[in-house]
Structure 1
Amino acid sequence: MAKTYDAIVIGAGVNGCSIAYNLARRGLKTLILDKGEVCSQASGQNGGGVRQSARDPREMPLAMYSVKLFENLSEELGLNVEYKQGGNLRLCVTPAQEESMRAAVDKQSQAFGLPVEYLDNEAVREINPYVSDIVLGASYCPTDGHANPMLVTYAFLRKARSLGAELRTGETVREIRLSKRHVSGVVTDKDTYSSKIVVNAAGIGGRKVANMVGLDFPMTPVFTEILVTEAREPLFPQMIGTAASDFYGHQTEHGSFVWGGFIGYDTFLYDDRGKSERRPNYPEVAPAICRAVLRFFPFLQDVNVTRIWSGLIAQVADKVPVLGPVSDVPGYVSATGFSGHGFGISPAVGRVISQAALGETPDVDISAFASDRFRPVN
């Protein structure tokens, strides 16, 4: 006889665990399934940015809501997630970037009331004296920040389990069962479970899971790489990015720097190595990231890299996630395709997806993220 749950979450990444926590705190008997381990894909392979600035306008309300939730998250979950609201600098080095950045800052400030401004080189160096003279200016959002992705994920999971949620790893979902097009449960390679709510938070496996209920959307695995340096004394608190988006990073609470990005992949971004969900580091990428970082922060040239890891990001064609229920398949809820910036909105995603799964009006409107945006228009 199938084991029965109120809700099943497929995927034990940061958003899956956030959703499970929010379902469990509402009193739902919740099961989390993952074919791998907790935080083993993009959630454990990102730079930890908690960013509102330079977001797609559709994501901005979620990002701003998440910042409010991050402020008390360590206390709420009972674990220090190393959240620091140290601001975000996105650096420009060409007049064209400067012009584009000024326009983006004005748009975000006026449309959303975001506290973001454009700073010239002198003003940037007052905030961060370590930047190179090549920097013409930067956008600066003081309410942006960063946190530890592993700690956030495990904090959500630990709290969810304390509220009765169950976790099964190393278990692959083979089928989402439907009864008259309504979700009725899940079949894995090890067991069968009954539930009237199934949340697809499967990350790079999200498209395959969606296919199980007859849905599809354009999503591609994209490679990213992260490197960590040896620790230094505290130097600056900001999250760092660039107008060209060639790298990003910050200094952690423990003094090491975490830098990541896509620079260096060039034409093999989607080559056949992407067929594997776990892959070795590309030898070309870490040196390219280092060169980019040193262009902006030359004082780091004597700091050694101690670790490198890589992973895959589930990137949707329009680079924003697929979120929310699907009217054609009652009980199925999507929370996947975060396109490399899902960590920073994970507290809000957990809140609004749990609300949507229960048929409630979410705190933030997520209609712009519906999967039917990719359906052909007749």
Structure 2
Amino acid sequence: MMSLRTRKPTGKTPWPFILVEGGEKTGKSWAMAELTASDRIGRAFWLDLGEGAADEYAAIPGADYEVIEHNGTYRDIYDQLTEVRTIAAKAAEAGELPVALLIDSMTAEWELLKDWVSERARESKYAKKLLRDDPNAEIKPAMNLWNDAAERHGRLMRLLMTFPGIVVVTARGKEVAALDNQGKPIPGSKDYKVEGHKNLAFDASAWVRLSRDTAPRVIGVRSVHAGIRPGVDKPVPAPSFTLEWLIFDVLKCHPTTAKPREYVQLTPDQAQEAGPVQENSSAAPLPVADRARAAVGRQTARPITEEDEQRANVMRATIERADVNREELQAVWKAAGDLPQALANDIRAMATDRSKTVGTAA
């Protein structure tokens, strides 16, 4: 029988992961460069992704940082950040001033991954066939390609969220037309969007918005010291905002007590979930439905093979036929269940959407 494992919480403030977002020319990069002039941080490393501002902002009085060189690929960018993480960990162990990692911007990071998805989609056998007939054909990436991009982004975010020092990233933000449940614009209504991966603001421990028209605003922080109550207090204007003020005065981050955020990556243990219950186990057996779902999970979590892609392409061709009928769409929907889950979801979504044009749901 497994024993319970617990520990007392430390109450220590973790190193911050700060998102600074806003419209164009609002001072996002300036704020990062200004932070490097602080005598409360040690070495600072600037990763420029699609902005080209790293060299220019070194002219700000007191700014002191090193520009990370890379060749523009995800692999090289990630490897460079891993090296910075190693330097930051050694500085923390030695009791030195905290290392600061500055990334400008995460909008470009997600654009890089989106381009990777599009390129891979156009290289599939199905896409090449379409493009031979129509070089301007629209190619919709399969869900498994988006899952791969999300995994790469998640890998980078785990590095940033557990970084043993200060992390500040920028992103572009702007007002966009609000959409209803059917994806249609709502007249006279606006939403605000941070441009980047949809979970970027969730993962940051502090979120700041800069504007050309109003004072900087602290949208939200994960802190017991800030005193901002979600749903009660409005975003806090900060006319004298600096990142140094936010990190050390508001978040109360102290180099001698701060620690990396505790983060345990969750991994599915489906084999154990669906395994037989031992006779001497005091635990109740899983419900039949749960065991069936776990068994299905094991079956569909297998890697996608070339044969799977070929079968999926045949199904896509059937779905996109001009004369496809209800029975054929239903057959494709059912047959997709034999594919790995990511492909099955993609094929079934296509079949369901296509069915709307023939008047009957798949």
Scaled to the shorter chain, the TM-score interval is under 0.3
Structure 1 or 2, whichever has the larger Rg, is 2
- Higher relative helix content: 2
Asked which structure has the greater RCO (Cα within 8 Å, sep 6+), the reply is: 1
Scaled by the length of structure 2, what TM-score is found? 0.24
Scaled by the length of structure 1, what TM-score is found? 0.23
